[in-house]
Amino acid sequence: MNTTFRNILIFLAILALIAIAWFFRRIVVYVLVSGVLSIMGRPLVDLLSKIHLGRWHFPRALSALITLIIIWGLIVLFFYHFCPACDKTDQLPFNYR
């Protein structure tokens, strides 16, 4: 196979992947966000899994649950702190409720 034909096939394959990603863009966004959250939360899960209280230690599932609660709490706290306009829906010029 000559290099020109090979380069054309690679280019077409990349275009096909981009088209598929565009078609499933909503799903791709969720997968990327979940990947980022997984990468961010793994050190905390590992840290919580190392905690021992006598003979008992945190199961990995419990560590993951606590990590998710912490991440969601930080997200809610961020929006609560930096979006004070969210509480003032009664002052909007249109009927929000």
Q: What is the pTM of this model?
A: 0.60
Q: Quick check: is 7 in a domain?
A: no
Amino acid at 35: G
Full domain range(s) for residue 71: 26-86
Q: Is the pLDDT of residue 95 over 60?
A: no
Q: What is the pLDDT of residue 70?
A: 93
Q: Quick check: is 33 in a domain?
A: yes
Q: What is the pLDDT of residue 32?
A: 87
What pLDDT digit, counting tens, does each position of 31-81 carry? 888 899 889 999 999 998 888 888 888 889 999 999 999 999 998 888 877
Which two three-digit tokens encode residue 5?
Answer: 């034909």
Domain tally for the chain?
Answer: 1
Number of H helices, E strands in the chain: 3, 2
In the chain, helix, strand, coil percent, each to 5? 80, 5, 20
